[in-house]
Structure formats: structure tokens, C-alpha cells
Amino acid sequence: MKDKAYKVLAVQLGISNKKAKELIDRGLVYVGDRKVEIARGEIDTKTKFRVKQVERPEVLLEDEYLLAVNKPAHITSEEIAKDSGYKLLHRLDKETSGVLLLVKDEEFRKKAIEEFRAERVYKEYRAWVEGIVAEPFEIDYPILTIKRGGKAFSRLSRSKGKPAKTMVEPLEVHGKKTKIKAVITTGRTHQIRVHLARAGHPILGDSLYGGKSWSRLMLHAKRIKLLDYDIEAPEPKDFIII
């Protein structure tokens, strides 16, 4: 007998259908090592699920102007902002981990936003990608972002896109996968994801842009340099042990 995945999960955990669907949508539900991607997908009612726990954000730095946290995967930037009571200075995708900045002071926020607009903010990421990256390379290709129904999708477009540049450097090769450093000054929606997919090296777990199924989107915001701040977030365990 089969039923929708979220309904089977709800029965197994003794929770509401709404809560079960939310867990699947967050990317927290697995069958063995395989993530359940579609909450409404049909699945055997005897299927045994494994639910991953969401880690708590770790405070990296806090002063009178700024709160910097190491955002765990599977939680939105907006949820962290709501819990902290402070305004987001920028955003990370739900499954992206790493340095997330929130501001406490309005004057500081205005100064920081101007730094972002002037492309004077250094942003360094780590990612595990498909294929072997043997040499450093640069991707300089404009990006057009389309938003529909609260969701965003980006594509490359020389005629309509906004300038975007990503510098890529290989750090470690494991089989047919490479751990890379990506540095950006622009901050287009899904920039690193779209550029790496274009280069033939989609990020593991990035199903939106052609990446293989993985435990999550393997992208981590490692370091940000803004004004007098230089903040780093240690890589999560799933980046070190792969």
C-alpha cells in the first residue's frame, strides 16, 4: 500500500500532516542515506524514515552594531532574524551554512549596505562540486534572476543579466568530486550555484541547477570581510568528512 510521503511520516512520528510536510520541505527526512525530496510523492506505507535534527546557530561575534552567526543548513535566514530580533544584512539559502550577518544599529546598517552596493565586501565560500577541478578559474557572466510564487531561479544572460564574477580555486579532490573555494564581490541570487553549473561543476545536492542528490546543498559561507570586520565560520562536519 502507498500513500503520500508526508502522511506516512506524520503517522510514524505522531505529528500533524503540516509538521511532517515542513520537515520534508526543510530537507531533514531520509530513507537510509537518500533524502526524501517530494513531500507529496507516493511511498510505501511501511517505509522507515530517519529525521535529521537541525543544529542551533552558533554566535561567531556580537557587539553593539553586529551579530554574526554560523548558520546551520536547513533553517532560513529569516527564521534566525526573527529569533534574534535583529535585521538581516544579507541572506543565505536555506540549505547553505556559514557566516550570516544581522545588524543592531540603523546607522551601521546603512554604512554596511553601501559597502555591499559598492562591491567592497569580500565573500568566501566552500563547496563540494561534481568532477575534478584541476586549476583555478574565473567565471564572469551576467545573471538574470526570475522570482515566481516566492521562489527564485537564476540563469545566465548577457543581454538582460546583472554583472557577476566568481573566482574558483580547487582545494581537495576526492574521487570524482572537488572541494573548492569560491570568492565573490557581487551577490547575485544563486550566483555561485549558477556559475559552477555553467562551468560543468554543479554543487553536490543542488537539484535546482543539475547537481547530484546529496544530503544537502554542499555550500558553506566561510568568510566575510566588511568594514573593520573579518569573520570566519568553521566548516560543518559534513564538509570535513565526505
Roughly what angle, to the nearest 10 degrees, separates helices 17-25 and 5-13?
120
C-alpha cell at 158: 548577457
Catalytic residue among 93, 105, 140, 228: 93
* Cβ atoms of residues 202 and 107 within 8 Å: no
Closest CA to 188 of 221, 215, 166, 216: 166
Q: What is the DSSP string of 33-74?
A: TEE---TTSEEETTPPPEEPPPPPPEEEEE-SSEEEEEEPTT
Secondary structure element (H or E) that encloses residue 223, with its range: strand 219-226
Euclidean distance between the first and the last CA atom of the chain, given in angstroms as a whole number:
35
Q: What is the DSSP string of 88-151?
A: ESS---TT-EEEEEEES-HHHHHHHHHHHHTT--EEEEEEEEES---S-EEEE--EEEEEETTE
What Cα–Cα distance (Å) separates residue 53 from each residue in 27, 28, 72, 125, 238?
10, 7, 11, 24, 14
Nearest-angstrom CA–CA distance, 164 and 187: 8
- Is 33 marked active-site? no
Residues belonging to the active site: 93
